[in-house]
Amino acid sequence: MNTDSASPPDAITVFTIGFAKKSAREFFETLRRAGVRKVVDIRLKNVSQLAGFTKKDDLAYFLEALGGIAYEHRPELAPTKEILDGYKKKALSWPQYEGCFRALMAERQIETLISPAELDRACLLCTEPKADKCHRRLVAEYLAGKWGNVVIRHLPEGARNEGKSNYLGELPKGGQSVYRGD
């Protein structure tokens, strides 16, 4: 898979963001400034009291009311409870978790469950504030590898970090990576 900072004209843009350690203002302003048209919630559970302003029904309302942004919950793009619990309880290391989740995505053939058109200018949402150890990065990279011509933009942790990736330090010029496929 090749990466490049130049965006081909036929490429789709997929954003990712985690809500933890963000105020509602930072979260919604980041989405608005990026030009996100839809948030695709890839959390296994999206109704926890700990989710605050990102609980399913509240989030759908806030996105539409504050930014005209659509909302969709797609738990089939989340790890299983067993994989997630294994990592949280330290029974799985990050590399093991990543391997298990990549195998699950391949088994589920997630590239057939959602289309590139559905994800163009959409933002994959999960909890983790940084993308380095989060399944949203793995989902974006997996789909980019299957589809090719995907620009992945990991939205910053907040306005203070705009233009920086959450897991690789400085992004290439333009703040994105382009996956052209193999």
Domain boundaries, the chain: 18-79+111-155
pLDDT at 6 (0 to 100):
55
Task: Compute the average pLDDT of residues 14-25.
Answer: 94
Q: pLDDT: is 80 or 162 the higher one?
A: 80
> Residues 121-131: pLDDT tens digits?
999 999 999 99
Strand ranges for 67-121 from DSSP E: 70-73
Mean pLDDT of 34-60: 87
Q: Average of pLDDT values for 109-115?
A: 97
Q: CA-to-CA distance for 120 and 115, rounded, in angstroms?
A: 9
Local confidence band at 53 (pLDDT 50, 70, 90 cut-offs): confident
Q: Write out the two tokens for 33.
A: 């400034």
pLDDT score of 161: 33
User: For residue 178, is pLDDT > 70?
Assistant: no
Q: Mean pLDDT score of the chain, rounded to an integer?
A: 84
The pTM of this model reads 0.82
Mean pLDDT, rounded, for 39-51: 83
